Amino acid sequence: MKNLKNFILLAILSITFIACEDDDIPVANNVVLEFNNTFKGTTIVLGTDATTATVNTSEAGQTHYFSELKYVISNIRLINAEGIEIPYNVNNLDNGATVVDHSKPETLQYILNNIPTTEYTQIKFGLGVKTELNTLDQVSFPNFYATAGANDTQMHWEWGTGYRFTKIEGFYGEDSNQLSFHSGSTVEGTEGDESTYVPGVDAYRDITLNLPTNVIVGSNAPKINIEVDFDKLLSGAANTIELGVDNATPSIHTANNMVLFVDNIGGNGSTNVTGMFSIENVEN
């Protein structure tokens, strides 16, 4: 009988201990996304000449380097071990979108708040802004509108109703010719008459990345380190691009030309859903 009492007491203590442990685990915690912009694994240094900037050579043999590097991340979703998609403010640009600006180290980290406690196996996000939110809506999303339109950011189109999704400035070739690539979805219709506008070329891309290690949200706030390899701008899985007078500046390249770059950096949405993005590692 004494042994039985001891066993019951031990069981009660064990249950109490487990319950206390569970109480210590928060129902939600933060997840940090950290973006590392590289040329084939080497973190990019911006500059206005080849002696200060990180210089890359494309598959076509063209040297190039960047003086400005910006892109929009939005529509973020985490997929848990059961395959359930957890959206993160996907319809709110103020709370669920960011402009990654390589010249501003603070923008290379983006914190997702109050992510439910569980394990996650995938992350999805948009490069750019999905069609239904891609209007310069200062009233609905004043914070994102202001950030994207700031003088040193300039992610608004001067002539359109939507946002720039990527903005890359730099130089290429032996003569340091100007490289200026901007992407964003286009509209068709009568210029100045918004009632006639209909979607044109869709430059938004949905990125899907498998996590090499499950992200464990609980007592700790894990970090997902994401490499963004801009070597793929010219040397992508879809297209090998040689810069020239018809595709090096946004005032000259056509929407179809733009799509060649976009398919390289964001994937084509079917056979390639990673583009220039990959997971470096997960820190739980």
Kindly tell me if the per-residue pLDDT of 18 is higher than 90: no
Q: What's the CA gap between 184 and 162, in Å, rounded?
A: 8
More confident residue, 172 or 22: 172
Q: What is the pLDDT of residue 28?
A: 95
Least confidently predicted of 129-138, 141-150, 193-202, 224-233? 193-202
Alpha-helical runs (H) found in the chain:
2-24, 93-96, 142-149, 255-266
Q: What is the pLDDT of residue 252?
A: 80
Extents of the domains making up the chain? 2-283
pLDDT digit string, tens, across residues 80-110: 999 999 999 999 999 999 999 999 999 999 9
Q: Of 271, 214, 276, 210, whose CA–CA distance to 39 is shortest?
A: 276
pLDDT digit string, tens, across residues 122-173: 999 999 999 999 999 899 999 999 999 999 999 998 777 799 999 999 999 9
Kindly tell me if the per-residue pLDDT of 235 is higher than 80: yes
| CA 96 vs CA 65, 133, 155, 167: distances in Å | 30, 12, 16, 20
Q: Give the position of tokens 């891609």.
A: 134
- Residue 7 in 3-state DSSP? helix
pLDDT digit string, tens, across residues 40-53: 999 999 999 999 99
| CA 46 vs CA 37, 68, 110: distances in Å | 11, 7, 21
Q: What is the pLDDT of residue 22?
A: 57
Please give the structure tokens belonging to residue 27: 């129902």
Q: For residue 53, give the DSSP letter.
A: S
Q: What is the pLDDT of residue 24?
A: 79
Please give the structure tokens belonging to residue 24: 């210590």
**β-sheet bridge partners, residue 225:** 34, 281
pTM (2 decimals)? 0.90
Q: What's the CA gap between 31 and 76, in Å, rounded?
A: 12
Q: Of 7, 26, 11, whose CA–CA distance to 221 is shortest?
A: 26
Kindly tell me if the per-residue pLDDT of 111 is higher than 60: yes
